[in-house]
């Protein structure tokens, strides 16, 4: 708790987490929540710091959610490091770490899912069928378990952020959703737990995503507002690096994710690509 010397408590059961959250709320404490899948990096920790400043008690969850991975995706090999994560969170003065088992979140007979129909379409939704249904479901469950007043999500997963804002609006969760800016490595690579899969050569190739987005942004800032021209420039730049399979480059309205023809309001250029079969996403906001 802010200003206290308490050690971080590890909670593995849903019921126990709910009881703790009820007690905190009863004591008038504002709960700040950062859901994660672990293997934490500076991007996650920046979200934790944001939650720390805005709340009295910080809860972080680590749960590699099986329902958001499709068949053939990396659920089994998703990087995990519980001890390392605990040490990082303790150093950030986190109060509670919620780490449930899959059977605790999805007991046998489980059959309820949350689906955000429109915002989940296109972009990553086209390449990962069922992904956002899994994300929306687990986040709604986590909200009911942790009962936060504020929750923080990264802008790196931009479509996910808008899916979550939509759930909160549509299902009347009384939670303020805040976002944290995308954090990059020194050379510009967007931080991601999946960067751990990259070979040194793959990591060099992956930098093309950042460089290409930067090109698009520079073009926009020097006067180009036609979305298709900007998209083509980014596409061409990504495709000039051998060994990258581009999935999409798109420019969408940053608030609604609607398709746009001209960049007037804040917009997001989003890209997804496979580098040596590792799927990476990145984005940049234009006009903010
Ligand atoms: O962004 C993530 O790490 C996950 O998609 C989330 C929000 C924790 C849900 O499993």
Q: Give the pLDDT confidence of 166-215 residue by residue, as tens digits.
A: 999 999 999 999 999 999 999 999 999 999 999 999 999 999 999 999 99
Which residue, among 130, 132, 134, has the nearest Cα to 67 in the 3D structure?
134
Q: Does the beta carbon of 32 sit less than 6 angstroms from any atom of ligand 1?
A: no
pLDDT at 2 over 70: no
CB 246, CB 271: distance < 8 Å: yes
Phi, psi for 270 (deg, rounded to 5): -120, 145
Which residue, among 182, 147, 197, has the nearest Cα to 25 in the 3D structure?
147
Output the CA 160–ligand 1 centroid distance in Å. Answer: 8
Which residues, at least 6 apart from 131, have a Cβ–Cβ distance to it below 8 Å?
68, 69, 70, 124, 125
pLDDT value of position 93: 97
Q: Where are the alpha helices (DSSP H) in 124-173?
A: 124-127, 131-146, 158-170
Residue 63 pLDDT level (bands cut at 50, 70, 90): very high
Cα distance between residue 234 and residue 236, in whole Å: 5
> What pTM does this model have?
0.97
Average pLDDT over the chain, rounded to whole?
97
Mutate to test the pocket of ligand 1, among 33, 35, 120, 281 (most ligand atoms within 8 A of CB): 35
> In the chain, pLDDT over 90 holds for what percent of residues?
98
Q: Does the beta carbon of 135 sit less than 6 angstroms from any atom of ligand 1?
A: yes
Cα distance between residue 251 and residue 262, in whole Å: 9
- Which residue is catalytic, options 26, 41, 44, 131? 44
pLDDT value of position 3: 54
Output the CA 33–ligand 1 centroid distance in Å. Answer: 12
Output the CA 123–ligand 1 centroid distance in Å. Answer: 17
CB 279, CB 271: distance < 8 Å: no
pLDDT at 4 over 60: no
Q: Does the beta carbon of 139 sit less than 6 angstroms from any atom of ligand 1?
A: yes
- Greatest Cα pair distance, the chain, in angstroms, is 58
Phi, psi for 35 (deg, rounded to 5): -80, 140
Scored b (16 or more CB within 10 A) or e, 188-213 reads ebbbbbebebbeeebbebbebbbebb
Mutate to test the pocket of ligand 1, among 33, 36, 61, 66 (most ligand atoms within 8 A of CB): 36
137-166 confidence digits (pLDDT tens): 999 999 999 999 999 999 999 999 999 999
Q: Does the beta carbon of 36 sit less than 6 angstroms from any atom of ligand 1?
A: yes
- Read off the pLDDT of each residue in 263-287 and give the average, rounded to a whole number: 97
Q: Is 41 a catalytic residue?
A: no
Residue 106: C-alpha distances to residues 38, 138, 205 (Å): 19, 9, 38
Q: What is the CB-side half-sphere exposure of residue 282 using CA atoms within 13 A?
A: 26
Question: Can you list the domains of the chain with their CATH numbers?
Answer: 9-180 (3.40.50.620), 193-286 (3.30.1300.10)
- Read off the pLDDT of each residue in 70-74 and give the average, rounded to a whole number: 96
Q: What is the CB-side half-sphere exposure of residue 168 using CA atoms within 13 A?
A: 21
- Read off the pLDDT of each residue in 22-41 and give the average, rounded to a whole number: 98
Cα distance between residue 128 and residue 238, in whole Å: 21
Output the CA 242–ligand 1 centroid distance in Å. Answer: 30
- Read off the pLDDT of each residue in 276-285 and give the average, rounded to a whole number: 96
Which residue, among 138, 14, 12, 16, has the nearest Cα to 68 in the 3D structure?
138
Q: Between β-strands 96-98 and 57-62, what pairing exists: parallel, antiparallel or unpaired?
A: parallel
């Amino acid at each position: 708790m802010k200003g206290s010397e308490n050690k971080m408590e590890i909670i593995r059961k849903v019921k126990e987490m709910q009881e703790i959250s009820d007690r905190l709320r009863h004591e008038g404490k504002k709960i700040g929540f950062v859901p994660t899948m672990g293997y934490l990096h500076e991007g996650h920790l920046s979200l934790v710091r944001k939650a720390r400043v805005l709340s009295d008690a910080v809860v972080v969850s680590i749960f590699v959610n099986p329902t958001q991975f499709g068949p053939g995706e990396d659920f089994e090999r998703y990087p995990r490091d519980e001890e390392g994560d605990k040490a990082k969170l303790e150093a950030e003065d986190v109060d509670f770490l919620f780490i449930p088992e899959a059977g605790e979140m999805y007991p046998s007979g489980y059959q309820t899912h949350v689906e955000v129909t429109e915002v989940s379409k296109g972009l990553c939704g086209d390449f990962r069928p069922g992904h956002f249904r899994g994300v929306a479901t687990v986040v709604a469950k986590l909200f009911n378990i942790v009962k936060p007043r504020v929750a923080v999500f990264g802008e790196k997963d931009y479509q996910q952020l808008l899916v979550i804002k939509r759930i909160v609006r549509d299902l009347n969760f009384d939670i303020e959703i805040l976002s944290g800016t995308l954090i990059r490595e020194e050379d510009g690579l967007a931080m991601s737990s999946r960067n751990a899969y990259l070979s040194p050569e793959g990591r060099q190739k992956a930098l093309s995503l950042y460089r290409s987005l930067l090109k698009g942004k520079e073009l926009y800032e020097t006067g180009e507002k036609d979305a298709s021209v900007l998209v083509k420039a980014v596409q061409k730049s990504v495709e000039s690096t051998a060994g990258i399979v581009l999935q999409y480059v798109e420019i969408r309205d940053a608030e609604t994710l609607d398709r746009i023809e001209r960049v007037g309001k804040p917009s997001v250029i989003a890209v997804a690509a496979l580098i040596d079969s590792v799927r990476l996403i990145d984005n940049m906001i234009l006009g903010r």
